[in-house]
Chain A
Amino acid sequence: MLTGVDQGASRGGMTTVRTATMAGLVLMLGACVQVQAPERPIEINLNVNVRQEVLLRLERDAEAIIEENPELFPQ
């Protein structure tokens, strides 16, 4: 009788251990942080406006384009 009870208890213990192990495994898998490199580089859109310094740098190019292509700049 006692042995049977012990056996039952130990069986119950085994099940508990098994359940705990399974739960632990599931938890461990779930806790895995998946680090994935983004497919595209992160883009930071700063000011989209064309800034004055850029326009200043392109002043000579603009002048040359107009001079070299008079047919495109009728007046």
Chain B
Amino acid sequence: MTRLSTIVLAAGAAAGLALVAMPAAAQESGAVRAAIAAGTVGEKADGYLGIRGQVSGAVRAEVDSINIRRRAVYTERVAGRPVSVEQMAAAIGCRTLATRVQPGHAYQSDDGTWRVRGEGDPPPTAANCPAL
């Protein structure tokens, strides 16, 4: 009886969590997209997303979550290879700066300063990035 009710409770909780988690994630990535368009969130040369200025707690949480998952993917990718996670992340940074940053978007260059790509500006790059 107790075991059965525990199972029912666990199943119910799992279903409830799934219901709550799915739309929240979808909403958050929409919020991050809007923040990128607004220039308050942007790609960094180190291969992670960064926050520039004031953002909501939800946006901050989603940026943190994305960065944690990015790091996990980079780590997995370099496992067993003579490549550091930082090197992999920097290679991502080269690519995101060059291909993701649209005019009006903010980005952080490798010297740590935030810039906004202007209309007609070439895609940004960082020191040591190979030419695309």
Total interface residues on A, CB under 8 Å, equals: 21
B29 interface residue per 8 A CB criterion: yes
- From 1 to 52 in chain B, residues with beta carbon under 8 angstroms from any chain A beta carbon are 29, 32-33, 36
Contact B70 A72 (CB under 8 A): yes
CB neighbours (8 Å) of B94 from chain A are 55, 59, 62
Contact across chains for B36 and A74 when beta carbons are under 8 A apart? yes
Q: What secondary structure prevails in chain A residues at the interface with B?
A: helix
State the A residues within 8 Å of B (CB).
49-52, 54-59, 61-63, 65-66, 69, 71-75
Task: Report which B residues bind A (CB closer than 8 A).
Answer: 29, 32-33, 36, 66, 69-70, 73-74, 77, 83, 86-88, 90-92, 94-96, 100, 102, 127-130
Counting from the closest, the 7 A-B pairs by CB-CB distance are A58-B91, A62-B91, A56-B130, A62-B95, A50-B90, A52-B128, A62-B92
